[in-house]
């Protein structure tokens, strides 16, 4: 348990992606089987472990501790698992040495073999045998609250870093394997052949597109390419074989449980690539709804009947990877699409439709189509070579995405906060605002926060402005001067804008970033909230 606990302690406090990768790769390299496999499962969200209710933990700690002293401690620390991990030893002073603590694999096996009535004494016993930081890790695992900012994708990248194997290869295998992943590690370390998977109903790494950059298209013949709309939902993969039906996110996370409406309607076998959206399919003549509606359904483990009713989900199919168990990824895009069309034709009308092709003859014509799409939920066009095979990863050439141009506004810097890691000595997180009509006249209201988009040299300028013009401090946050004739104007670019009840201004931007420093402008020249509201309305059609 100790190596895993130490890893968690470091991961929680390490903001940088590279730092996390180093910590993870070192852990996978240095920790023996089967512990590292369970550690991997815990991080990637695939660990099956008997859960323990917080109330039982509280009971256990109060068996040996004064409730008043416990309450003082809990009030101070604020997190139940952490409080218990810290107070459990009572007045004991001697540390438990690392070698005599139960291993992670022992903890997992023991917890999962327990009968209902045995849980309480087993948890007590384990808490006695673990040291402070291992107790914390254990309690986080059994209460299912492991929030450490590591995605399954990052864990797989670390496996790739440690072994030199390609991450897409690891992803291809991933869903066919189970903890503690011993055959996977054996292959990664070159001690065994690549594991062979029994079922194709697993996640296959997806093919990604590159953004169109200046000059990219002039060299290409439009006749070689097909175009389709780029819908603003989330990219998914449906995998169905031998009665197993799964829905995966783009990165291979299993989201089957959150979309019973879609998964329950699958009446085909094979692997389909598509866009998950809410609203109605084109075939049912109901409109596709916005990303903010889709968000109501995302990041949930389960879903209520009302959610299913209010936000019905469907898949707009883009591509076919497997037709039944036949791998057709080497076929051309048009051929795969033809076969996909047949499958969708026979699939339930309200849950599946086929993404339309957009006819065009020249790049200029496609550009005009892209700028004025017929549906507000379209965020641009996809351009795919008609003869392209389906290849995992982001190859340059076969597929492009050509997004609608980002939105831009001029906003005024209101607050700044120091960044993390490399940026911890810089004010690099900026809250910006625009002018709004209030009962007291025109005032700047915060509309968003951005912490990237600028160069290092621009950061020096921003940081200096903050330090020289601080008017107030709230903990780590500084308020800066922002008056009609004095302040810092930032040009903010963003990908989309939605209504929001969570933000005071009533709007929320997607992916806001600082596009340019507008030292040539005064705050009085910045945009009005009405401009943003108009953008939302235009988007909602």
Partner 1 sequence: MKPEALLHPTPAGLFCPIGRFHVDPVRPVERALITHGHSDHARAGHAKVLATRQTLDIMRLRYGEDFCGEEQAAAFGEEIDVDGVRVSFHPAGHVLGSAQIAIERQGLRIVVSGDYKRGIDPTCASFVPVACDVFITEATFGLPVFHHPDPKDEIDKLLTSLKQFPERSHLVGAYALGKAQRVIRLIRDCGYSEPIFIHGALAKLCDYYVGQGIDLGDIRPATIEKSSPDAFKGAVIVGPPSAFQDRWARRFNEPLIAFASGWMMVRQRAKQGGVELPLVISDHCDWPELLSTIEEIGPSEVWVTHGREEALVRWCELKNIPARPLHLVGYEDEGD
Question: Measured from the CB of residue 19, what is the shortest distance to partner 1 in angstroms?
Answer: 7
Residue 412, number of CB atoms within 10 A of its CB: 28
Interface ranges with partner 1 (CB under 8 A): 9-10, 12-15, 19, 22-23, 26, 65-66, 68-70, 72-73, 76-79, 82-83, 86-87, 89-93, 95, 132, 418, 420-422, 424-426, 476
Question: Measured from the CB of residue 65, what is the shortest distance to partner 1 in angstroms?
Answer: 7
In 3D, which of 179, 241, 231 has the Cα closest to residue 204?
A: 241
The answer to whether 430 and 451 are in contact (CB under 8 A) is yes
- The secondary structure element, H or E, covering residue 3 is helix 2-13
Residue closer to partner 1, measured from CB, 33 or 79: 79
The answer to whether 216 and 117 are in contact (CB under 8 A) is no
Question: Measured from the CB of residue 330, what is the shortest distance to partner 1 in angstroms?
Answer: 42
In 3D, which of 433, 438, 529, 517 has the Cα closest to residue 482?
A: 433
3-state secondary structure of 234: strand
Residue closer to partner 1, measured from CB, 77 or 186: 77
Residue closer to partner 1, measured from CB, 87 or 152: 87
Region of 233 please: left (phi>0), alpha (psi -120 to 50) or beta. beta
Question: Measured from the CB of residue 72, what is the shortest distance to partner 1 in angstroms?
Answer: 5
User: 464 φ, ψ to 5°?
Assistant: -65, -40
Question: Measured from the CB of residue 34, what is the shortest distance to partner 1 in angstroms?
Answer: 24
Residue closer to partner 1, measured from CB, 16 or 178: 16
Residue closer to partner 1, measured from CB, 78 or 541: 78
3-state secondary structure of 211: strand
Residue closer to partner 1, measured from CB, 161 or 319: 161
The answer to whether 481 and 487 are in contact (CB under 8 A) is yes
Burial of 272 (0-12, 13-18, 19+ CB in 10 A): buried
Question: Measured from the CB of residue 36, what is the shortest distance to partner 1 in angstroms?
Answer: 17
Residue closer to partner 1, measured from CB, 70 or 451: 70
Question: Measured from the CB of residue 9, what is the shortest distance to partner 1 in angstroms?
Answer: 8
In 3D, which of 208, 198, 205 has the Cα closest to residue 169?
A: 205
Q: Which residues, at least 6 apart from 177, have a Cβ–Cβ distance to it below 8 Å?
A: 183, 184, 195, 197
Q: Which residue has the tokens 């075939």?
A: 283
């Amino acid at each position: 348990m100790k190596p895993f606990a130490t890893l968690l302690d470091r991961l929680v406090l390490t903001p940088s992606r590279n730092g996390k990768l180093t910590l993870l790769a070192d852990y996978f390299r240095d920790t023996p089987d089967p512990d590292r496999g369970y550690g991997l499962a815990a991080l990637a969200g695939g660990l099956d472990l008997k859960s323990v209710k917080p109330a039982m933990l509280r009971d256990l700690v109060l068996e040996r501790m004064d409730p008043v002293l416990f309450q003082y401690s809990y009030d101070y620390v604020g997190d139940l698992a952490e409080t218990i991990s810290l107070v459990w030893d009572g007045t004991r002073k001697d540390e438990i040495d690392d070698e005599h603590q139960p291993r992670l694999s022992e903890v997992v096996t023991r917890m999962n073999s327990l009968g209902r009535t045995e849980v309480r004494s087993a948890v007590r016993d384990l808490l006695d045998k673990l040291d402070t930081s291992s107790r914390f890790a254990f309690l986080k695992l059994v209460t299912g609250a492991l929030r450490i900012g590591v995605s399954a994708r990052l864990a797989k990248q670390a496996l790739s870093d440690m072994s030199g194997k390609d991450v897409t290869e690891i992803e291809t295998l991933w869903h066919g394997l189970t903890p503690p992943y011993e055959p996977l590690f054996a292959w990664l370390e070159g001690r065994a052949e690549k594991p062979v998977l029994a079922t194709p109903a697993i996640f296959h790494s997806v093919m990604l597109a590159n953004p169109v950059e200046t000059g990219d298209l002039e060299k290409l013949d439009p006749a070689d390419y097909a175009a389709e709309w780029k819908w603003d939902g989330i990219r998914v993969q449906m995998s169905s074989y031998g009665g197993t039906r799964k829905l995966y996110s783009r990165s291979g996370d299993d989201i089957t449980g959150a979309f019973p409406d879609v998964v329950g309607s699958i009446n085909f076998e094979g692997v389909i690539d598509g866009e998950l959206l809410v609203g109605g399919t084109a075939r049912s003549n109901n409109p596709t709804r916005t990303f903010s509606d889709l968000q109501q359904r995302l990041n949930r483990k389960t879903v209520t009947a009302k959610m299913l009713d209010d936000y019905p989900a469907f898949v707009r199919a883009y591509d076919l990877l497997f037709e039944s168990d036949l791998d057709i990824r080497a076929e051309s895009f048009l051929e795969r699409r033809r076969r996909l069309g047949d499958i969708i034709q026979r699939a339930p009308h309200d849950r599946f439709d086929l993404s339309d092709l957009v006819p065009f003859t020249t790049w200029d014509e496609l550009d005009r189509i892209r700028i004025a799409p017929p549906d507000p939920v379209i965020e641009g066009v996809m351009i795919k070579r008609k003869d392209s095979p389906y290849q995992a990863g982001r190859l340059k050439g076969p597929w492009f995405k050509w997004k609608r141009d980002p939105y831009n506004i001029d906003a005024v810097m209101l607050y700044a906060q120091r960044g993390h890691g490399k940026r911890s000595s810089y004010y690099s997180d900026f809250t910006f605002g625009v002018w709004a009509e209030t009962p007291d006249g025109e005032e700047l209201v915060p509309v968003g926060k951005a912490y990237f988009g600028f160069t290092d040299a621009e950061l020096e300028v921003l940081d200096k402005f903050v330090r020289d013009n601080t008017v107030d401090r709230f903990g780590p946050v500084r308020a800066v001067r922002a008056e009609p004739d004095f302040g810092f104007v930032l040009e903010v670019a963003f990908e989309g804008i939605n209504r929001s009840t969570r933000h005071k201004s009533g709007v929320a931007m997607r992916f806001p970033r600082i596009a340019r420093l507008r030292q040539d402008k005064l705050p009085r020249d910045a945009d009005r909230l009405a401009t943003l509201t108009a953008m939302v309305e235009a988007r909602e059609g």
